[in-house]
Amino acid sequence: MIRHLNLMNFDDEISQGIVLVDFWASWCQPCLDQNPVLDEIAKEVANIADVFKVDVNDNKVISNKEGVRNIPLLILYKDGKAVARYQGIQSKEIIIKSILKLI
């Protein structure tokens, strides 16, 4: 299940393990097109990684801190450190392969 992050829980949620964060906005059609793929990823990696979303409109502080300039943007974290960034729509296979490399 994909959960939403905000300023109150962002740092805690990305601090341990493998975490994929989708930076998105409701007005961004490519972001909405990516949602079904993210749902599939979240199900397939449920025992390996957590998947979250950050609405860039509601969380400008996080977006600025993480250097989000364009969306959709997926950032893959391992123990709180960003290890990969994926700009634009991505395939499930690319993201899952990247997650599995971090195990």
Q: Give the torsion sign (CA, 92, 80, 50, 100).
A: positive
Indicate which residues carry an active-site annotation: 28, 31
pLDDT-derived band at 1, boundaries 50, 70, 90: confident
pTM above 0.75, yes or no: yes
What is the third-level CATH fold of 3-101?
Glutaredoxin (3.40.30)
Cα dist. 19→27, 28, 37, 87 in Å?
24, 22, 16, 16
Residue ranges per domain, the chain? 3-101
Q: What pLDDT sits at residue 20? A: 99
The answer to whether residue 3 scores a pLDDT higher than 90 is: yes
